[in-house]
Amino acid sequence: MSRLSRTESVDDLRELARKRLPLAMFDFVDGGSESETALRHNRAVFDRVRFRARTVVDVTERSQEIELFGRKSGSPFAISAMGGLGTLRYKAEVALAKAASDARIPFMLSLGANCTIEEVADAAPKARLWAQLYTFKDDRLNKALVDRAAAAGYEALVVTTDSNVFPKRPRDRRNGFSFGLKKTPRNIWDVLTHPRWTMDVVLRGNVGRMESMVPLVDGPKDTHSLLAYFIKERSPSLDWEALDRIRRMWKGPMILKGIMSKEEAVLAADHGMDGVILSNHGGRNLDYAVAPLEILPEVMDAAGERLTVMLDSGFRRGSDVVKAIAMGARTALFGRPAAFAVAAGGEAGARHLVAMFQDEIDRVMGFLGIRTLEELGPDFLWFDGLAAGEALSRRNS
């Protein structure tokens, strides 16, 4: 058996990725901001939610299909955007899009991807592709990216709202990493002692380059020049007026990623958004942030009938996905597990991860005594000191 086929969890894939990658690349994926408290807390909240099963039920036939924005999805999860995946594996985004396509789940392409909007669409023509957008000061740049996504057949536009300033990530600072690697003696030695990664990534050139940005930039188009342009032109003043302008540019489903309060969820619905992704950026931005799972019930109460409510941050098992769906989420998204998987095994690793989540969801459904996810609800859960439990109890009464 191959090492990949012996992996039984995201933790196993993480360990394979750790062995294959230089430290700076692994820490880029694995780390969080400042003390990494939010990163750890995202996981801890899942452990405080227990299951209450129904056992005298015929579960011979089970389906984890859901409807999402008017289309059937094969499973209640999607692969979220994560920039810089090309520093882990060549054409990583294409590998993930193909795996998502075969599973009939959405794949969200980061603006910081090392493959272009068009390249991913061409490589996975049947995929449910969502385009992630960081907003720029100049709406002409925003419109150019939005128009390209529409022309390439992307289903939804996802505007990230929680990254208007740049985070402090101590691991990246110590490693001299920022979508590229400083040429320190330690880093040079680390690269030389990871020959498989070096041959796959470094020798192919343009490591970490934001490829979708290339047509927008006059002048140098190397990795560092594009990143400098991105930093300079990013808009720190994202507000509802700016989102209204983008809403007028985009005709399909529009989603806000990074919403973390019921008040902003209501405003999102008021401004014509179709969905929100509750997210603290996987613990990579604001440290000590509340976990998305904790605020899910209050968002569902406030805007669940007007928006498709989704969430990311902290998912590591199929059981985590089932917990989120039982609490009201329409679907779950994850980034780090996909990054570990593609780093560990390329497209095969991505397919292995998706199949592993699907298998675990199916088993949990069988044990819970449900045949479809529509049967799920908070009465299948037990909460251990989680504030969300009180909110759900009030909703159920």
Q: Active-site positions?
A: 281
Burial class (CB in 10 A: 0-12, 13-18, 19+), 348: middle
Q: CA-CA-CA-CA torsion for 136, 140, 142, 146, nearest 10 degrees?
A: -170
For the chain, the helix, strand and coil percentages under 3-state DSSP, each to the nearest 5: 50, 15, 35
Q: At what angle do helices 37-47 and 292-303 cross, to 10 degrees?
A: 70
For residues 379 and 392, the answer to whether their CB atoms sit within 8 Å is no
How far is residue 334's CA from residue 321's CA, in Å, rounded to a whole number? Answer: 10
C-beta separation of 278 from 333 below 8 A: no
- Rounded to 10 degrees, the C-alpha dihedral 370/373/374/380 comes to 60
Q: Backbone dihedral region of 91: left (phi > 0), alpha (psi from -120 to 50 degrees) or beta?
A: left
381, containing H or E segment: strand 381-383
b/e map of 83-112 (b: 16 or more CB within 10 Å)? bbbbbbbbbbbbbbbbbbbbbebbbbbbbb
Sign of torsion, CA 83 88 94 99?
negative
Gap between the Cα atoms of 206 and 221, Å rounded? 10
CA distances 388 to 161, 319, 322, Å, are 24, 17, 16
Burial 287-302 (b: 16+ CB within 10 A, else e): bebbbbbbbbbbbbbb
Q: How far, in Å, CA of 66 to CA of 331, rounded? A: 8
**CA–CA distance, 311 with 325 (Å, rounded to integer):** 10
